[in-house]
Chains A and B, each alone.
Chain A
Amino acid sequence: MTAAAAHPRESLDELTTRRAQRGDEQAWRALIARFQPPVHGLIWRLLAGRARHRVEDLVQETFVRVLRALPGFDLAGTASLSTWILTIATRLTLNELRRPEPAALEIEPPAMERTDHATERQRLGAAIAVCIAALPEPQRVVLVLREYHDLDYQDIARMLELDLGTVKSRLARARTRLRDDLSATIPDAVRGLGGRHA
C-alpha cells in the first residue's frame, strides 16, 4: 500500500483529452485542474529541502510543455496521459536539481521540543520530509514516484530510462534508509511496526 493508493490515479476522459489536443482552452483548463495536484505534489516532494520557490515555476513549465506537445500524444498508446505528464514534470525537476545553484534547506526540522503543540502526525510528516530530503537524488526520485504517485516499476523505469532491476534496487535501498533514518529521528513512530528493521 502506498501513500497515494487511497487516491485513484487521475485521468481525463477521452473526449476532453481530444479537445485539449485540438487546442480547446476549456479542455486545457480541465486538464490542468485535473493534473495540477499530482504534478504540484511530485515537484514539491522532489525538491524536498531544495529550491522550493521554484515549485510553481516548474508546475507551469510542465503544463506549458504538456499542452504544446499534447497534439502528438497517442491516446491509444501504452502509457497513460497521467504517466506521460508526470514524466515531463520529473525530468524538468531533475534538471532543476542538477543546476549548480546553492540549495537552501527549507524544510523545518522535526519540532521535538514542541510536542505539546503539534500532533504526532505532524511530527511524523516533518520527520519524513527531512529524511526524504536527505536521500540521494536517484533514490529519492524512485521512492517519491513509487510511494506517493503509485507508479509501477515499469513506468518508473521508462520515465527515468533505467533498467527494471535498477529501479527495484534503488527503491529497496531508499526504503531501508528512510526507515532507518526515521527510526533514529522519531523512534516511537516506527517502533513496534513489522518488517525487518523494526
Chain B
Amino acid sequence: MHDDDNALAGIDLAAWQPPAPPAGTADAVIARLREPASVPASVSAIDLRDRPSRRTWWIGGATLVAAAIVALAAWGLTRTPRNGHDEVVATRARHLELDGSTADLDAGAELRWDRDRHRLSVHQARGAVRWTIADDDTLVIEPGGPGSTATIEASGASLGVEVQMNLSDMRLLGATTLTAAAVAVVTVVVYAGHVQATSAGQTVNVTPGATIELRPERPPEEPALRQPDEPWEPIAVGAGPIDVQQLEEQLRVADEKIAALTAELAARTVGRSADPAVAPHPISPITLEASRLSGEKIILPDADTKLAIAKAGATKIFGTFKLCVDTSGTISSLRPVKSTGFETYDQTIEQAIHDWKFKPFLVDGKPTPVCTAVTFIYRQDEPKPDVDRTTVKHDSSTAPPTMCATMDVDDLMTAAKNQFMAGYANAALSVMTKALQCKQSVQMYRFAATYACAAHEAATARTLFAKVPPQFQAAIEQKCVQEGIAVRSP
C-alpha cells in the first residue's frame, strides 16, 4: 500500500523501537491455558470473517438479557439472602438496600446491621429509620445498642423507629453506644404489618397505625391507636417536617435552659457584673465544641479510681462541670456542678479541662468570653473474677494489664470513631492509640492508620500502615494520598 500524501515521509519512524520482548511468555501462556478457563472462548474470540452483523448482535444481546431477567426472577424467588454486616452513620438522609429489605435513615441516624440468612439483627444507636421488611425476613432491632433492654421484632412490615437520648444526654461529650442504650427513648410507628415490641420482659403487639414508646426498664404501654378521623401520615417518625420542627423546638428550649443556667452560674463564679457588655456569653457545649483547638475530651479515671469505682459496685458514673472560656480561648474558670462521686476523678477531669484550648468565640465579630456546662459519663464493666484487685499498678502510662482489664476497647473504638466523624482526627488517633495499648487487631490498625493520615501524623501513619495486611492497604493508602501523605516506605 502506498500513501501518496504522507506527512511523515522522510522521517525515520523506525527510530522508535520497543525493547526486546521478555523470555518465558510461551511458558506462562501455556501454564495459564492448562488451568481451568477463566475467560470463555466465545467471549474472547474475535473472528473477523464470521463476525455477525450489528443487528444480529442486538438480537442476541436482547435474548441474553431476557434470559438473564427470567433467571434472576426465578433465582430471586427461591434464593437465600447473602449474609453480611455493616455499620452506618448517616451524615445525611440515606437509603440502604439490605438484600430484600430496606432502611431509610434520617440524617444523624446510626446503626449496625448483621444479616444471618433471613434474620436481620440491628443495633439502632440513635436517630430515625424507616424500615421496610420483606415477608421472608425477620428484623430484630435492639434500639440504643447492645445494652438495650428493649427489642422490636418485625416481619413483612413497614415501620418507623426513632431512638432519642434524654435531652441532657444529647449534650454529653464522650457518650458511647453502650451508655446511650440505657438512656434511649424509643418511638415505634407501624405503617403496615404487625410488629412486636418487648421491654422489661413484657411484649405487646403493635398494629398498623399505632404508635408505641419504649423507655428503659419500663414495660411497653398500650399502643396508642389513631382515631378514625385522624389524618393518616405514614411517615411520622423523624422524616416528616412536623417531627423535625418538634425536635428543633425541643433542642432550642434545651439550649435556652442550658444557656440561662450557664449564664447565671458564670456570673456567680466569675464574679463579673451583670453588664451584658462584659458578661460571658452563654453557649451550648456543642457550640463551644465547634471552636476546639486542642485538649483531651476522653478523660478516663486512673487505675486507683477505677478500682474504687469497682469496689463501689458502680458501672456508670456522671459528672457535670461548668466552665468559662476567655477571649483568648483559654479556660478562665471551672467548677463542678455535679461531682462524679470520686474526688480523684473530678480532679483528673478538671486538670484535663484546664488544658482545653479554643478559638476565640466571636459575637458580632468581637472575641467574647463564653460559658457552658459539660457532662461526662464513664462506664465501667464489672471486674472479672480473675482480676486481682490488690495488684493494681500505679503507673498507667505504660498501660499495665490491670488498666487494660478495666478498659473497654470497643468503647474506645466507638469514641475514636465519633471523634473522627466529628472532624477531630487528632483526638481519634489519640484514643485509638490508647486502645492499641490494650488490644491489637487488624481492624484497629486500619482505623488508626486512617486517623493518623487524617491528622497528618505522617510518621505514625507509616508505622500503623505497616501493620495492616496488604489486602487492606490500598484503600488506606488512597485516603492517605488524599491527605498528601505517602505511607509506603520509599
Contacts and interface: CB of A to CB of B under 8 A. Distances in A.
Interface of A: 1-3, 6, 25, 28-29, 32-33, 36-37, 40-41, 44-45, 56, 59-60, 63-65, 67-69, 72-74, 77-79, 83-84, 87-88, 91, 121-122, 124-126, 128-129, 132, 147-148, 152-153, 158-159, 172, 175-176, 178-179, 182, 189-190, 193-198
Interface in B25-53: 25-26, 28-30, 32-33, 37, 39, 41, 44-50
A74 B19 CA distance: 32
Interface string B326-358: 000000000000000000000000000000000
Contacts, number: 137
B45 A29 contact: no
Given A178-B8, A190-B11, A83 B48 contact: yes
A2 B13 contact: yes
A69 B47 contact: yes
A59 B9 contact: no
A54 B21 CA distance: 13
Nearest to B32: A64
A6 B17 CA distance: 13
Contacts of B28: 60
Given A72-B45, A74-B49, A197-B7, A125 B15 contact: yes
Contacts of A121: 12, 15
Contacts of A28: 26, 29-30, 33
Contacts of B18: 40-41, 44-45
A152 B2 CA distance: 10
B39 A88 contact: no
A87 B25 contact: no
Contacts of A1: 9
A141 to B, nearest CB: 15
25 contacts: A29-B26, A29-B30, A36-B21, A36-B26, A40-B18, A60-B28, A60-B32, A68-B39, A69-B44, A72-B47, A124-B11, A124-B12, A124-B15, A126-B16, A132-B16, A172-B5, A172-B7, A175-B7, A176-B7, A189-B11, A193-B11, A195-B6, A195-B9, A195-B10, A198-B10
Contacts of A189: 11
A92 B39 CA distance: 13
Q: How extensive is the interface on chain B, given as a class?
A: 35 or more
B73 interface: no
B25 A32 contact: yes
Nearest to A121: B15
Interface string B134-177: 00000000000000000000000000000000000000000000
A171 B460 CA distance: 53
A158 to B, nearest CB: 6
A60 B26 CA distance: 8
Contacts of B46: 69, 84, 87-88, 91
B439 to A, nearest CB: 37
Contacts of A41: 17-18
B14 interface: yes
B11 A69 contact: no
Nearest to B50: A74
A60 to B, nearest CB: 5
A65 B45 contact: yes
Contacts of B49: 74, 77-79
B312 interface: no
Contacts of A67: 29, 33
A69 B13 contact: no
A69 B5 CA distance: 38
B7 A196 contact: yes
B16 A129 contact: yes
